[in-house]
Structure 1
Amino acid sequence: MLVALPTLPDRPLLVALVALLWLALVLYGASAGWWLVETLVLSWGWRADRAERWGLDEVQVRILTVDAEAVVQGTVDALPEAVTDVHVIAERDVDVDGAVVDVVPDSFDCTATNKGRALEWARRNVDCDREYVLYLDEDTLVTELTGLPDADVVQFTEKPIYTGSRLTYLCEVFRIGYQFEQFGFHRLRYPLYAWGGGVAIRHGLEQSITWDARTITEDTNFVWRAADERSISYRLVDARFRNQAPPSVWAMLKQRRRWISGTMRDDAALPLRYRPLAFTRVVAWALSPLVPLLVVGAYAFPGSAATLDSYVALSTALLGILVLYTLAGLVAYRKHPLLWPVFLLATPVGVVLHALGAMWGLVRPVDTFEVTEKVAPATIERVNAGLEEGAIADHDGSERLIRGSPEAFEWTVFDD
């Protein structure tokens, strides 16, 4: 004998669950809608021709590290020869050819902590007579750098390198696709985030704003405080500097946890009109794994999730936007179209892994900075060569890789 299950309104627990899923749908829908506005509307007017005004003789490069000597050496070697003022800001003494190594003394004290403390020490103690300071992470390989446009903050786009974990690489392709919204940031008074691994800041602005603030997302925090104090000009340069994808899922989860923890803590630096947007983005990021569940639930239990027939269409559309993020990442990476189906089908896996660290940070925020593990250039070359025998087209490139040539880093099992 068949027994009819009670309808959804008679089951309070399911009603509450459906309400929660609808809330997640609305929050993620708002975040996705804003992304479409940024990429399709606000990006209008972005100029791909960079309009360089300042030459590299007006740029001082500062590379931040603890003591990753081999990694930093590859970063220094990849700099254009026209860059002559290069400083490595380190926590311990390292030997790096082609750069001045400045060690932050243990006795130095300020409000900023961890990386921010090193940035503030360098601001106070490293002489600079250039117009700009270009900050690079220890693993940032500069590409296509011939000068800078005239702006207070010049942000370079990134393109993480495969370092041994296919899952973290998939997540980075997804993340870089989401970052297409940066093309609309020049329309905002407060750019929504900054990547400190490839950002040039006008020296006068840096001296005025300083890095002396308690935060673990010092790059975004600096830009927000600068925008709060004055009307800053912002330019995005689509040069795709190469940095490293986290070498393991665990390292990526801790990295994402730190990012979202710092963003939530720094939201107070935003004006009230920006805070709902920032909150929506944080929650949507952490809850993004629910989107595939919404779709499955909507199709498996038609009519149970809501009385509106549009629920299935809305949840499916949101899943489509997640795939769109991956597609944008594939365009940024210039992947061969034959590889697209593999990445697109793996999008739900990338979404879940990318969000787990954010969910962790939402539940248990962290207030300390932990450097994401990096690998030396020679290690990257061995990892990629071992994955696919035919991945290296020009075997002489292994020597160029050790010297830091960015072109050599195109040799990954996933790259063309």
Structure 2
Amino acid sequence: MNTATLSSPLSITLLVLLGTLFVLYALSALWWLYEVFVLSRNRDRDRDRDAEAFEWGLEDVQVRILTVDGKRVVQGTVDAVPSAIDDVHVIAEAPMDVSGATVHVVPEEFDCEATNKGRALEWASRTLQCEKEYVLYLDEDTIVTDFTGVPDADVVQFTELPIYTGSWFTYCCEVFRVGYQFEQFGFPRLRYPLYAWGGGIAIRRDLEERIGWDVGTVTEDTNFVWRAAREKGFSFRVVDARFRNQAPPTISAMIRQRRRWISGSLQDGGILPLSYRPLYGTRVVVWACSPLVLIWILGVVVDTGTAGLPTRAFGGISAALAVVLVVFMWFGIRAYRLEPYLWPAFLLATPLAVVLHAAGAAWGIVSPVSEFQVTEKIPPETVETVNPALERGDIRAHDGTESLVGEGPQASETGGKVEVEVEVEREDEVEEQEHEQKQKQEQEGDRARPLD
């Protein structure tokens, strides 16, 4: 674009549109900085205090794990639940045997407005007996870590740290996303938390009974929190426990996941009060259009000689906004405690992470989904195979009150072997068969034992 062409109506329209986008992007970036550095300013003090003395202990928690039919994945999740919790339930769509948990299959005849995962949540809420103070909901792949109790709040969000599953590209995007999600520590000071993660969220039992899950949506977690926030006196807390869930194993799976997230945001945005909608709508548009910031910078660099003043000005604004994108990645690097020698690789990969992370969001705006699509998961044995930081059996032996891979740097997650050998898969099958045989023998022994 040059000075001569700026007078054309098309060029003027383009500059106005880009200028509007950059203003929205700048406002969104400033809001994130405000959340992280102002609203979250007491986060470290609160987190350290809560780690020592929560108001509610593990004995006050019932665990519910949602799955379709991922038996091997769910078994790893159940194995990682702290031993102090003896009330563990798996809500599934097909029968399965899971050691250490009671499995419930949602009846086909059960009918409600909610569908898919929401339908399972609603059935469990209506059917399962719970005498605990809190219900902790986990996804089928959530490995509980550093879980020692629950602070006294209506909804408690536990932070996440997706683990490497074989794709460096999706892992890089998750590092970027986790960095952005540092804003969650400011959500307790907002009337309406801007989103929630249902893979690690504790809900006060009586609140769930009042609010319920019977709503047609593809983002049940955020939808529930927004409806709950309407209640007077609603309280929300964030605990920096960094539960380990799985990064999507492929780029296509990640894009479909982001598409579902943005679709749910567009569908449920009407729940928010009018004062929140401009903020939330701006964030949705900015997420999908963020690659334009990088494209504009590239265009200015390539066309430096003929670029007019407005073009160069937008290029400067784009560069400043791109710095904020790098800040997101830097916060993700901090959360993952990556080895210093890996910092340059992840920082330089920020543009790639931005584009891939935004692809699904843009797709969701153009073509929203109305059905819940489960993101592909891989068995714990495969996760251990591709992660040098983990050894075979680490997930099964893990106690949820501790960190999964220790307190030190966790960067070696990305150094594992991406392809799993056929021999390893066969070994997994043999180990699974042995585990099932042992469980069967224990059950037969229980039936043979005389009653007291």
TM bucket by the smaller chain? over 0.9
1:189/1:231 contact within 8 Å kept: no
For the 8 Å contact 1:157–1:241, the answer to whether it is kept is yes
Indicate which of 266, 289, 301 corresponds to 2:291: 289
Is structure 2 residue 382 aligned with structure 1 residue 383?
Answer: no
Q: Is the 8 A contact 1:104 1:118 kept in 2?
A: yes
User: What are the Cα deviations for residues 50-76 of structure 1, in whole angstroms up to 9, with x where unaligned?
Assistant: 240101110000000001000000000
Q: How does 1:52-67 map to 2 (within 5 A)?
A: 52-67=54-69
**Structure 1 residue identity aligned to 2:216:** R
What amino acid sits opposite 2:116 in the alignment?
Answer: N
Q: Deviations over 1:69-102 (max 9, x none)?
A: 0000000001111011000011111110000101
For residues 414 and 40 of structure 2, the distance between their equivalents in structure 1, rounded to whole angstroms, comes to 32
Does structure 1 residue 412 correspond to structure 2 residue 413?
yes
Matches within 5 A, 1:122-133: 122-133=124-135
> What CA distance in whole angstroms lies between the structure 2 residues aligned with 1:308 and 1:12?
15
Maintained 8 Å contact 1:155/1:236: yes
Question: 1:232-277 CA deviation, whole Å, 9 max, x = no partner?
Answer: 1111000100000000000001000000000110000000000000
SS of residue matched to 1:54: coil
Q: 1:178 maps to what in 2?
A: 180
Q: What is the CA-CA distance between 1:14 and the residue it aligns to?
A: 2.4
Give the unaligned 5+ runs of structure 1. Answer: 385-390
Report the CA distance between 1:146 and its aligned residue: 1.0
**Is contact 1:21–1:294 with CA below 8 Å preserved after alignment?**
no
Count of matched residue positions in the alignment of Structure 1 and Structure 2:
403
Residue aligned with 1:146, SS:
coil
2:216 to 214, 217, 232: 214
After superposition, residues 117-266 of structure 1 pair within 5 angstroms as 117-266=119-268
Alpha carbons of 1:25 and 1:414: their partners in 2 closer, same or farther (altered >3 Å)?
farther
**In structure 2, do the counterparts of structure 1 residues 414 and 158 end up closer, same or farther at CA, with 3 Å as the change threshold?**
farther
Deviation at 1:295, TM superposition (A): 1.8
> Which of 269, 272, 291 is the equivalent residue of 2:271?
269
**1:414 CA displacement:** 5.1
Partner in structure 2 of residue 354 of structure 1: 357
CA distance in structure 1 between the aligned counterparts of 2:308 and 2:368, rounded to whole angstroms: 32
Distance 1:306 1:79 in 2: 59
TM-score w.r.t. the length of structure 2 is 0.85
Which stretches of structure 1, 4 residues or longer, exceed 6 Å deviation after superposition? none
Q: Distance in 2 between matches of 1:130 and 1:237?
A: 20
Paired residues of 1:24 and 1:290 also in contact (CA < 8 A): no
Higher alpha-carbon deviation: 153-162 or 400-409: 400-409
C-alpha contact (below 8 Å) 2:3/2:308 kept by paired residues: no
- Whole-Å separation in 1 of the counterparts to 2:103 and 2:174: 31
Deviations 1:298-343 (A, max 9, x none): 4444584654875333211100000000000000001112111000
Partner residue, 1:387:
none
What's the RMSD between the two structures over aligned residues? 1.9
Report the 3-state secondary structure (helix = DSSP H, G, I; strand = E; otherwise coil) of the residue aligned with 1:368. Answer: coil
* 8 Å CA contact retained: 2:57, 2:148: yes
CA distance in 2 between counterparts of 1:231 and 1:26 reads 35
Q: Distance in 2 between matches of 1:336 and 1:305?
A: 43
CA contact (8 A) 2:78 2:100 kept: yes
Q: Does the Cα contact within 8 Å between 1:255 and 1:372 map onto a contact in 2?
A: yes
Task: Compute the displacement of 1:344 (Å).
Answer: 0.2
Contact 1:149 1:235 in 2 (8 A): yes
- The one-letter amino acid of 1:238's match is D
SS of match in other structure, 2:65: strand
- Look up the equivalent residue of 1:258 and give its one-letter code: R
Change (3 A) 1:318 1:125: same
List alignment gaps of at least 5 residues for structure 2: 417-452
Q: CA contact under 8 A between 2:64 and 2:138: conserved in structure 1?
A: yes
Structure 1: how far apart are the matches of 2:312 and 2:414? 44
Question: How many angstroms apart in 1 are the aligned matches of 2:210 and 2:100?
Answer: 29
Aligned to 1:412, the other structure's residue is in SS state: helix
Query: Which one-letter code corresponds to 1:366 in the other structure?
Result: V
**Contact map agreement 1:194 1:219 (CA 8 A) in 2:** yes
Q: Give, in angstroms, the shift of residue 29 of structure 1.
A: 1.2
Residue equivalent to 1:29: 26
TM-score, L = length of structure 1: 0.93
Q: Give the conservation status (yes or no) of the 8 Å contact 1:305–1:311.
A: no
Alpha-carbon deviations, 1:388-416, whole Å to 9, x = none? xxx35x8xx3122344566259551259x
Kept in 2, the 8 Å contact 1:18–1:306? The answer is: no
Q: Return the letter of the residue paired with 2:23.
A: V
Tell whether the 8 Å contact from 1:217 to 1:259 is kept in structure 2 after alignment. yes
- AA at the equivalent of 2:343: W
Counterpart residue identity of residue 378, structure 2: V
Secondary structure in 2 matching 1:407 = coil
Matching of residue 400 in structure 1 with residue 403 in structure 2:
no
Measured against aligned partners, the alpha-carbon deviations of 1:112-169 in whole angstroms (never above 9, x if no partner) come to 1110110000000000000000000000000011111101110000000111111100
User: C-alpha separation between the residues in 1 aligned to 2:311 and 2:210?
Assistant: 54
On the 8 A contact 2:330/2:347 being kept in 1, the answer is yes
- Alignment partner of 1:91 out of 90, 93, 96: 93
